[in-house]
Structure 1
Amino acid sequence: MLFIPVSLWNLIKVVLLCINALAVLNEERFLRRVGFGYRPEVVAQASVKAQIINLLHAVRTLMRIPLIALNITTIALSLLAG
């Protein structure tokens, strides 16, 4: 059996990569084609799909600057730690 140690640092990197993946989704090219484009009339509903659309929109708008800082910090710490 293969044993892979999971540390807090690895979990932080996984979460950061997942947030990055959500942030780079293009609304015009991808999200609208699959029905997850941001539209105010859909977002006003209380469905699961509306909550996912709200999450995607919030990550792309509010997390842009913090993600840049977190990515730079993570890359620098990974380079220093080896």
Structure 2
Amino acid sequence: QALLRRRTMAFTFYALIQTAILFTNAVAVLHEERFLSKIGWGAEQGIGGFGDEPGIKAQLLNLIRSVRTVMRVPLIAVNSVCIVLLLLFG
């Protein structure tokens, strides 16, 4: 029974990792002109003035831009590893 519990815990942890990777992929492929500007989240939206606290919308836009910039190359490697693991272990 302890072995069965370990297997389900490992599956749950892997599912959590896979969910995080899929979410990061979804954020990385958002196109600013095609999708984000249609819902009012484009680049032309005001971020705020100097010294102003950025709102939640500005922080989310900054997070999306940062993920698209920084995570593009590491996501290729992580996705490749996940594909190989899924091919080997199902």
**TM-score greater than 0.5 by the shorter chain:** yes
d(CA) in 2 for partners of 1:60 and 1:81?
30
d(CA) in 2 for partners of 1:15 and 1:43?
30
Gaps (5+ residues) in structure 2? 1-7
More helix by share: 2
Partner of 2:65: 57
Q: C-alpha displacement at 1:52, in angstroms?
A: 0.3
Partner of 2:15: 10
Q: C-alpha displacement at 1:38, in angstroms?
A: 3.0
CA RMSD of aligned residues (A): 1.9
d(CA) in 2 for partners of 1:64 and 1:43?
27
* 8 Å Cα contact 1:38-1:57 kept in structure 2: no
The 5 A counterparts of 1:1-80 are 7-39=12-44, 41-42=46-47, 45-80=53-88
Gaps (5+ residues) in structure 1? none
Aligned-pair identity (%): 45
Cα offsets for 1:20-77 (capped at 9, x unmatched) = 0111111111111212223585166510000000010011111000010000001101
Higher Rg: 2
d(CA) in 1 for partners of 2:68 and 2:40?
17
User: How many residues end up aligned between the 2 structures?
Assistant: 78
